[in-house]
Amino acid sequence: MKRALYPGTFDPITNGHLDVIKRASRLFDELVIAVAESPGKSAFFSLAERSRLIEECTVGMDNVSVVSFEGLLAREFETQGVDVVIRGLRAVSDFEYELMLALMNRKLNDAFETAFLMPSEQYIYLHSSLVREVFALGGDISSLVPRPVLDAFRDRK
């Protein structure tokens, strides 16, 4: 049984994230989505809200579960007993940063493996911070996020 971990802050989860989740859930027997606390960032949604939204967005995906964590990803990799970490790549610019993270995590845990997945072309530009900015400026985010996330943003108005 191959288990994968898809970590991130998911603030908020976007249609691009959901696309990667769907792809990874087809490739692995089990996919654990690990929602990071990230105390250095000021989150729009709380950790509990982000976890709940992901659970709502993945209803019906029987091999997908959601956990939250804080601290080192290499430690969460070990705690969850997974085989690989999934990272999404949108553009070439993501690769350098993701490569550095993957190599550092492997330095911390020599069993750490990373698999990179690309979202569909329509989501290549999509980033959570852009979604928050478009919303803050009064733009329409309905094509960028799943329905539960859109509703959560509207509830914040």
Q: What are the catalytic residues?
A: 17, 41, 90, 128
Beta bridge partners of 34: 7, 67
Residue 15 CB neighbours (<10 A) = 19
Residue 110 CB neighbours (<10 A) = 9
Where does 9-129 show beta strands of DSSP type E?
30-36, 64-69, 84-88, 114-117
Residue at token pair 């990667």: 20
Q: What 3-state class would DSSP assign to 48?
A: helix
DSSP 71-101: S-HHHHHHHHT-SEEEEE--SHHHHHHHHHH
